[in-house]
Amino acid sequence: MRKLKTNELDRISVDEFKNQSKTPLIIILDNIRSLNNIGSVFRTSDAFLIKKIYLCGITAVPPHKDIHKTALGATESVDWEYVDDALLLIKKLKEQNIVTISVEQADNSVKLNDFRINPNTTYAVVFGNEVKGVQQSIVCETDYCVEIPQFGTKHSLNISVSCGIVLWDLFLKLKKQE
Overall size of the chain counted in residues: 178
Query: Are the beta carbons of 86 and 124 closer than 8 angstroms?
Result: no
Give the helix/strand (H/E) hosting 54.
strand 50-56
Give the helix/strand (H/E) hosting 82.
strand 80-83
Domains of the chain: 14-177 (3.40.1280.10)
pLDDT (0 to 100) of residue 178 = 81
CA angle 20, 24, 26 (to 5 degrees): 105
pLDDT (0 to 100) of residue 113 = 98
pTM of the model: 0.97
pLDDT tens digits in sequence order for the chain, 178 residues long: 999 999 999 999 999 999 999 999 999 999 999 999 999 999 999 999 999 999 999 999 999 999 999 999 999 999 999 999 999 999 999 999 999 999 999 999 999 999 999 989 999 999 999 999 999 999 999 999 999 999 999 999 999 999 999 999 999 999 998 8
75 vs 172: CA distance, rounded Å = 23
pLDDT (0 to 100) of residue 177 = 86
174 vs 161: CA distance, rounded Å = 20
pLDDT (0 to 100) of residue 64 = 96
DSSP state of 4: P
